[in-house]
Amino acid sequence: MASDQSTSSGDASDQSTLSGDASDQSTLSGDASDQSPLSGAFQFKLSCCAEAISLQTWIDFFRNNKTFETEGNAESLPNLLSSIGKIQNVIIHRLNLNFEEVNQFLLNAEEFIRLLDAPLYLDAVKPLRQRIEEVLLMANRDAASIHNEADEKIAGIEAQIERLKREEEGIKRHRDETLDNIRSSIERDIFAAMGQAKDALPDIGLAENR
């Protein structure tokens, strides 16, 4: 007999749990059909329970519930939800991001949080954005420093190249002048030798070459 009462009590507990779950689902589905998007009592329910429901549940809810679609967001809302879902993948799988994607994700997250009207999320995203901005600022500052250092080194190399070019031109000029002097010296020596040969042997026909 006690066992039957215990079973009955357990069944009642299960029914209570099911009733509670149904109530939660009513909050996310049934009430939405009777309310305009995020207005009145429905907006209050969203703001009260938003933090207690998983992000993926919210994404699925907004994706499957057409109540929130308006002429202004009919095209942007699916993209927003897809972007929010991608944020989870980035965090879970530690995917690589560039700076532009980080900023866009933050903008999408803020828009989604405004849609939820969840104060806890709003309070959380502000320091996150500030931290991201600090990281980006430091990254930009470091990148600028690296660029400046590289530019200085490149400028030094270019100046060294110009100096080496001038040295090369000077060496070539000295080479050409030295070769000209050698050529002139050889010519003088040859003509002097020919003159001596003409004086020693006047009959070999060198007079016209003197």
**Is 105 within the bounds of a domain?**
yes
Per-residue pLDDT of 28-37, as tens digits, reads 444 444 444 4
* Reported confidence tier of residue 139, pLDDT bands at 50, 70, 90: confident
Which contacts qualify for 137-146: CB closer than 8 Å, 24 or more apart?
Answer: 139/99
**Is 207 within the bounds of a domain?**
no
**Domain coverage including residue 82:** 2-117
- Is residue 95 over pLDDT 70? no
Cα–Cα distance between 13 and 7 in angstroms, integer? Answer: 10
**Is 30 within the bounds of a domain?**
yes
Look at the chain and report how many structural domains it folds into.
1
Does pTM top 0.85 for this prediction? no
**Is 187 within the bounds of a domain?**
no
Per-residue pLDDT of 9-31, as tens digits, reads 444 444 443 344 444 444 444 44
Q: Three-class SS of residue 76?
A: helix
**Which pLDDT belongs to residue 44?**
43
**Which pLDDT belongs to residue 198?**
72
Cα–Cα distance between 151 and 146 in angstroms, integer? Answer: 8
Looking at residue 101, the DSSP 8-state letter turns out to be H
**Is 85 within the bounds of a domain?**
yes
**Is 79 within the bounds of a domain?**
yes
| Residues of the chain above pLDDT 90, percent | 18
Cα–Cα distance between 125 and 87 in angstroms, integer? Answer: 13
* Reported confidence tier of residue 114, pLDDT bands at 50, 70, 90: low
**Is 9 within the bounds of a domain?**
yes
**Is 208 within the bounds of a domain?**
no
